[in-house]
Amino acid sequence: MATFRANSLSRNPSSLSQAHSEVVRANSLSRNPSSLSQTRSEAPRANGKPAVVPLEVSVEAGNAKADEWLDEDGRPRRTGTFWTASAHIITAVIGSGVLSLAWAIAQLGWVAGPAAMLLFAFVTYYTATLLAECYRTGDPETGKRNYTYMDAVRANLGGPKVVLCGVIQYANLVGVAIGYTIASSISMKAIRRAGCFHTHGHGDPCKSSSTPYMILFGCVQILFSQIKDFDEIWWLSIVAAVMSFTYSSIGLGLGIVQTISNGGSKDSLTGVSIGTEVTSTQKIWHSLQAFGDIAFAYSFSNILIEIQDTIKAPPPSEAKVMKKATSLSVATTTIFYMLCGCMGYAAFGDDAPDNLLTGFGFYEPFWLLDVANVAIVVHLVGAYQVFCQPIFAFVERRAAAAWPDSGFIARELRVGPFVLSLFRLTWRTAFVCATTVAAMLLPFFGDVVGLLGAVSFWPLTVYFPVEMYIKQRRVPRGSIRWICLQMLSVTCLFVSIAAAAGSIADVVDALKVYRPFSG
């Protein structure tokens, strides 16, 4: 019947035009049931009864069915909500960086430390709201979607800035994967050392290598990396978010107990005192690195667009949902950061370790430290995936576009929660192995965290969101708003440069005495 109708239409162009109009109208009706009922009520009546409106069932049945599981862009319907987006953000934000905040505040003191934390929180939240507006180009509810950060830059800025954004973003994501591998191995090693200290006393060095733990973490990531895409790791993000609250709460509780047992705080208004152990030059470098640590602790803009692309279609718009999720997440993490960082500094003063739960500012109760460090490891398993899924998606899209007929790339097999393909298995495994080896070469947790935060903060968190917002909203050059946005960008650039300088200085010092694979 469909063939006969097609032949008839090809012989009669006017019929073809009429049929096209019917199909367009049917499409509209299938998307708008109220219009369908209205059309039926307006249909001509025969013998007092409404006549049936003919639809192109052979064409539209498939489309109507597809509408149930496809979004307007032809991709599988997004199912993300305010809560899943918040979980992704919290998993990305409340990372291992929270554990270095006591050290960061110790370098800056009671005045500059909390002030810097609040400043970074405000800047991160504000620029995240600007970036959320760039998910769609044009209308915030019906405009063209930008699936990745690079797509948003391409749609709004174009030119060489797209390549620059891609290099910075994906280099930063690789760096975060390396940093999280380091952090997880330190936590696993701390579990062993806590038991050793409890058994043999605090005088025993209880030394061990972090290399086996990095290999173990890498093996776990090879398994979880086979989860196909961002949409399918929502449950892992929720587990990771719960774990982040768990170890942050334990660190906060231990800090309070330690402060009480000390008979008061061991802090000062200006932070670490210059003396025999710390020179004025080291004080400057460490203070600058502290800014990098705080910036890293708030870093999530590099995956904001990818998170927003998981939110289900409007209404309300994805931007509104993302702004609410960002507001909740940044507010929640800032409260935890202030409490953990400030109480850690109050407990240990100038001696605050660069990792509150693994630097052994606390020794007892050892089992509670074990629980906290297990929570850190579980959280980092999920956080690693949140930051690496955009890399996986980028490479696989490029490969599929370059070799569309390759069975090695396209053929898939679903096994439980995993959708396996030879290409995905091969390249994701190679990526995890590469980041694991790199982590073995650079196991400097505090220095790596500070450097990553410093390098990525200005371009990804501030510069590109500001420039895209100005372009999309057509902010007049020279207007008060334009001047304020540019001042914000320039100020953050200077902060990033200073923080990077401090972190590089510490990495250079660490490399002078470190031998690869001996950590």
* pLDDT per position as a tens digit, 289-300: 788 778 777 878
pLDDT the model gives residue 76: 85
Residue 415 DSSP symbol: E
pLDDT the model gives residue 420: 79
Tell me which range, 39-53, 148-162, 185-199, 453-467, is most confidently predicted by mean pLDDT.
148-162
Residue 241 DSSP symbol: H
Distances in Å between the Cα of 507 and the Cα atoms of 77, 185, 285, 312, 442 are 45, 19, 11, 43, 9
Question: Is the model more confident about 60 or about 373?
Answer: 373
C-alpha to C-alpha distance for 271 and 284, rounded to whole angstroms: 11
Burial 378-408 (b: 16+ CB within 10 A, else e): bbbbbbbbbbbbbbbbbbbeebeeeeeeeee
Question: Is the model more confident about 43 or about 221?
Answer: 221
pLDDT at 487 over 90: yes
pLDDT the model gives residue 445: 56
C-alpha to C-alpha distance for 344 and 361, rounded to whole angstroms: 9
pLDDT the model gives residue 56: 38
pLDDT at 335 over 60: yes
pLDDT the model gives residue 134: 92
Total Cβ atoms within 10 A of residue 205 = 10
pLDDT at 518 over 70: no
pLDDT at 129 over 80: yes
Tell me which range, 53-62, 71-80, 201-210, 346-355, is most confidently predicted by mean pLDDT.
71-80
pLDDT the model gives residue 34: 42
pLDDT at 130 over 90: yes
* pLDDT per position as a tens digit, 134-147: 999 888 888 899 99
C-alpha to C-alpha distance for 247 and 425, rounded to whole angstroms: 32
pLDDT the model gives residue 107: 87
pLDDT the model gives residue 173: 87
Q: What mean pLDDT do residues 85-97 have?
A: 78
Distances in Å between the Cα of 266 and the Cα atoms of 255, 271, 342, 346 are 12, 10, 11, 5
What's the half-sphere exposure (Cβ side, CA atoms, 13 Å) at 393?
22
Are 97 and 333 contacting, i.e. CB atoms less than 8 angstroms apart?
no
C-alpha to C-alpha distance for 94 and 89, rounded to whole angstroms: 8
pLDDT at 485 over 50: yes
Mean pLDDT of the residues in the chain: 78
Distances in Å between the Cα of 452 and the Cα atoms of 76, 445, 501 are 34, 11, 12
pLDDT the model gives residue 490: 94
pLDDT the model gives residue 128: 93
Are 165 and 131 contacting, i.e. CB atoms less than 8 angstroms apart?
no
Instruction: Provide the token pair at 493.
Output: 């650039």
Q: What mean pLDDT do residues 207-232 have?
A: 86
Q: Is 231 exposed, middle or buried (0-12, 13-18, 19+ CB in 10 A)?
A: middle
Q: What mean pLDDT do residues 410-436 have?
A: 84
Question: Is the model more confident about 363 or about 433?
Answer: 433
C-alpha to C-alpha distance for 495 and 55, rounded to whole angstroms: 63
Q: What mean pLDDT do residues 26-31 have?
A: 43
488 band by pLDDT with thresholds 50, 70 and 90: very high
503 band by pLDDT with thresholds 50, 70 and 90: confident
